[in-house]
Amino acid sequence: MATITTSAEIARKPLYSSLFVQVLVALLLGIVLGMAVPNFAIGLKIFSDAFLKLISMIVAPIVFCVVVHGIAGAGDLKKVGRVGVKALVYFEVMTTVALVVGLLLAYLFGPGHGMNIDPSSLDAKALNTYADNAHKLKGGGIGSFLLNIVPTTSIDALSRNDVLQVLFFAILFGVSLALVGGEKGERVGAFIDAVSTILFRMMGLIVRLAPLGVLGAVAYTVGQYGVGSLKQLISLVVLFYLAVAIFVLGVLGSVMALAGLNILKFLGYLREELTIVLATASSDAVLPQIMRKLERLGVKDSVVGLVIPTGYSFNLDAFSIYLTLAVVFIAQATNTPLSFGDLLLVLGVSLVTSKGAHGVPGSAIVILAATLNAVPSIPAIGLVLVLSVDWFIGMARALGNLIGNCVATVVVAAWEGDLDRAKAIRVLDGEELVDVTAG
């Protein structure tokens, strides 16, 4: 389990033993190898693929265990429902704000203006990789989306790592477990709690391999694409990073201030996890550590267990920014005019399609395609334009999504009265340091 240690105890640890330092060294080494020996660097992608595959192996079981434990551990189903409703309200408000931020910045800076791309000149074969997944989100409207939340079988949802379906089954299981109660309910609850402890320890072992995953991911990216490959689309990449920074520091920073906490200190508190996410473009790897850190920050464990897993599917702030930004970028690049009605339609559809993003292979391209279906005037082939920079954009997407979910957990806890604000301030000020690398 995670332990709270004093600053003196942490200070006595060798610098090289810090996961944060190891990840930074791996990141820098990856850049050097990618520039010096690109062919060799590209081959290191196997490290990144293996690391992400190890993470993917246990994400769905962890989500199931923490949600069930969170619901059953809360005891009062009315409280669970209240926390759930507050979380969903917060998610929808923040998602809408994120979509609008992406839209406004796209129009303000016009990253696609001047490209004058002829859609017929683009290679449609580049999108074939994502065709098999597009049916999950294309067509059928809201009804199809809602039906897809219900798994065919619980085992199928777990085996495919469909987080939304696992979440649905876990909520039903947790509510039923709470209703059964008694000795049987306690035995099952204790078993699930024990399994989650083992899974968290397993994830702790896997995360120690994060430096290798980061090395492989960064070396491959630099070796494959190089610095010059970004020239044409550099404005889109820079604008997206700027949009995420504005949203995190401006919007989320204001929300955290209302909860009585400082966003910069909060980001510093999560620096190790954020570094891993930025380098690997995946937030799954740090799920257990993030949850433990939020609990040690003073957030009640039942709130953490409900909000964080739910947010992975329902609160994708950075992804929402990217949806509207990319749609307008493609329209601008292909000289396609958008009416005010088109923009409202994009916003409405994006509120639904963004909920299915987590766990869908090539999700950004697939969901962009589904969103563009609402505006037939924009050529879907324009998605080819963003394929070459999707990895770079994906790093900020994963980072922004994770920060948004962590802030959401703190805010919902404060709203519900389940945040020990005095303890949180002490932890963020460095008076009570947290070390969760042990478990």
Q: Residues 333-361: pLDDT tens digits? A: 888 887 777 777 777 767 765 655 554 44
Query: Which of 133-137, 176-180, 433-437: highest mean pLDDT?
Result: 176-180
Number of domains in the chain: 1
Beta strands per DSSP E along 230-363: none
What CATH number does residue 72 fall under?
A: 1.10.3860.10
pLDDT for 435 equals: 54
**Position 292: which residue type?**
R
pLDDT for 126 equals: 53
Helix (H) and strand (E) counts for the chain? 23, 2
If one counts every other C-beta atom within 10 angstroms of the C-beta of residue 107, the result is: 14
Query: Which of 98-102, 213-217, 310-314: highest mean pLDDT?
Result: 98-102
Check the CA dihedral 352-356-362-366 and report its sign. negative
Average pLDDT over residues 306-331: 85
Check the CA dihedral 86-89-91-93 and report its sign. negative
pLDDT for 359 equals: 46
Average pLDDT over residues 430-436: 63
**Position 393: which residue type?**
I
pLDDT higher than 70, residue 362: no
Please report which helix (H) or strand (E) contains residue 219, including its range. helix 210-225
pLDDT for 2 equals: 43
Size of the chain in residues: 439
Contacts of 364 (CB under 8 A, 6+ apart): 319, 322, 326, 357, 386, 390, 393, 394, 397
Q: Residues 170-197: pLDDT tens digits? A: 888 888 888 887 788 888 888 988 888 8
pLDDT higher than 50, residue 49: yes
pLDDT for 111 equals: 81
Rounded Cα distance between 180 and 198, Å, is 25
pLDDT for 428 equals: 92
Helical spans, DSSP H, in 44-153: 45-74, 77-109, 131-134, 141-149
Question: Of all residues in the chain, what percent are helix, strand and coil, respectively (each to 5)?
Answer: 80, 0, 20
Average pLDDT, the chain: 77
pLDDT for 432 equals: 64
Give the pLDDT band (50/70/90) at residue 382.
low
Lowest mean pLDDT among 251-265, 312-326, 346-360: 346-360
Average pLDDT over residues 314-318: 84
pLDDT higher than 80, residue 96: yes
pLDDT higher than 50, residue 10: no
Lowest mean pLDDT among 9-23, 228-242, 339-353: 9-23
Residue 192 tokens read as 């699930």
This model's pTM is above 0.85:
no
Residue range of the domain that includes 286 = 3-435
Residue with tokens 């490290």: 47
